[in-house]
Structure 1
């Protein structure tokens, strides 16, 4: 059940990260959701493994948003030089 909540929180974190990240960003719903979920999973498990916060702590949600923002910025850097 913890993984399901992490995915749901990741989806919300992806939407918030897209709203906070400058630029057009990935336009697709599924790409935004995937980046948010990946950022959430990474931030949740890395933060807990480092002992920064326990499971279910509010810092995990904030870290999920930061993780999604980092992934979105990485996506911007990776795709900005592509010719459309």
Structure 2
């Protein structure tokens, strides 16, 4: 059940990050979900490191760190995806 929650949280965080980032992102949905999962993991690690990983009630700080990490990872990941995609197109054109 832990993996299912990780996928669901990654999916939601990835979509929210895509909605917040200005402009169009070209990465596919499966990759956005992976980026969101990575953002959740990194956000959890940051929250734990700052001592707010588990608080009574809703862990707002942890969720904020997860979202910020997901926004950064989705943005950087999309740039890397587009660079790889454009590089492959250039290689096909030269062959």
Q: TM range, normalised to the smaller chain?
A: 0.7 to 0.9
Larger fraction in helix: 2
- Identify unmatched segments of 5+ residues in structure 2: 90-95
Question: Structure with the greater relative contact order (CA < 8 A, sep ≥ 6): 1 or 2?
Answer: 1
TM-score, normalised with respect to structure 1: 0.74
TM-score, normalised with respect to structure 2: 0.67
Task: Could you list the structure 1 runs, at least 4 aligned residues long, displaced by more than 6 angstroms after superposition.
Answer: none
Asked which structure has the greater CA Rg, the reply is: 2
* CA RMSD in angstroms, aligned pairs only: 2.4
Encode CA deviations 1:10-52: one digit per residue, 9 max, x unaligned. 321111001111232243111010000101111112221232x
Distance 1:10 1:81, change over 3 A: closer
